[in-house]
Amino acid sequence: MSTKKNNLLISCEEAKHICDKMQYGEATFLEKLKLNLRILWCKATKSYSKRNVNLTKLCQEAEIKTLDTQKKNEMKEKINTSQSQA
Amino acid sequence: MPKNKLDPSKWVDEYADYLYNYTITRVNDTIVAEDLVQETFLAGLKSAKNFKGEAAERTWLISILKRKIIDHYRKINSTKGKAEVKMGYSNREDQEGDWLEDTVADPFDINAEDALQNKELGMAIQECLMKLPKKQADVFIKKTIQGMDTEDICKELNISASNLWVIVHRARTNLMDCLENNWFKK
Domain of B70: which CATH number? 1.10.1740.10
CA B138, A65, B75, B61: dihedral to nearest 10 degrees?
A: -30
Which amino acid is it at A52? Answer: N
- In a mutational test of the B interface, the residue from A18, A21, A49, A67 whose CB has the highest number of chain B CBs within 10 Å is A67
**Distance from C-alpha of B55 to C-alpha of B183, rounded to nearest angstrom:** 24
- Say how far apart CA B70 and CA B68 lie, in whole Å: 5
Residue B27 lies in a domain: yes
Rounded Cα distance, B22 and A64, in Å: 10
Contact of B176 with A16, CB cutoff 8 Å: no
Residue B50 has a pLDDT of 85
Q: Which residues of B touch A72 (CB under 8 A)?
A: 12-13, 16
| Residues listed for chain A | 86
**What does the alpha-carbon distance between residue B46 and residue B24 come to, in Å, rounded to a whole number?**
24
Residue-wise pLDDT tens digits, A46-80 = 999 999 999 999 999 888 888 988 999 999 999 98
Q: Where are the domains of chain A?
A: 12-85
The answer to whether residue B126 is domain-embedded is: yes
**Given A20, A58, A83, which is nearest B165 (Cβ)?**
A20
| Domain annotation covers residue B72 | yes
Identify the domain containing residue B49 by its residue range.
8-80
Residues B13 and B76 in one domain: yes
Residue B85 is assigned to a structural domain of this protein: no
- Note whether residue B166 is domain-resident: yes
- Does residue B117 belong to any structural domain of this protein? no
Does the structure's ipTM exceed the value 0.85?
Answer: no
CA angle B29–A63–A52, rounded 5-degree value: 165
Distance from C-alpha of B66 to C-alpha of B68, rounded to nearest angstrom: 5
Distance CA(B36)–CA(B23), nearest Å, equals 8
The pLDDT of residue A47: 95
Rounded alpha-carbon distances, angstroms, from residue A77 to A39, B32, B39, B44, B48: 50, 19, 13, 15, 18
Digits of tens for pLDDT over chain B (186 positions)?
Answer: 667 788 888 899 989 999 999 999 889 889 999 999 999 999 999 988 888 888 889 999 999 999 999 999 998 887 655 555 444 444 555 544 444 444 444 545 556 667 677 778 888 999 999 999 999 999 999 999 989 999 999 999 999 999 999 999 999 999 999 999 887 776
For B23, residues 6+ apart whose C-beta sits below 8 A from its C-beta are: B32, B33, B36, B37, B65, B69
Question: How near does any CA of chain A get to the CA of B34, in Å?
Answer: 8
B153 has a chain A CB within 8 A of its CB: no
Question: What is d(CA B137, CA B171) in angstroms, rounded to the nearest whole number?
Answer: 7
In a domain, B112, yes or no: no
Please spell the DSSP secondary structure of B113-174, one letter per residue: HHHHHHHHHHHHHHHHHHHS-HHHHHHHIIIIIS---HHHHHHHHT--HHHHHHHHHHHHHH
CB contact under 8 A, B12 and A72: yes
Q: In chain B, how many domains are there? A: 2
Q: Is residue B181 part of a domain?
A: yes
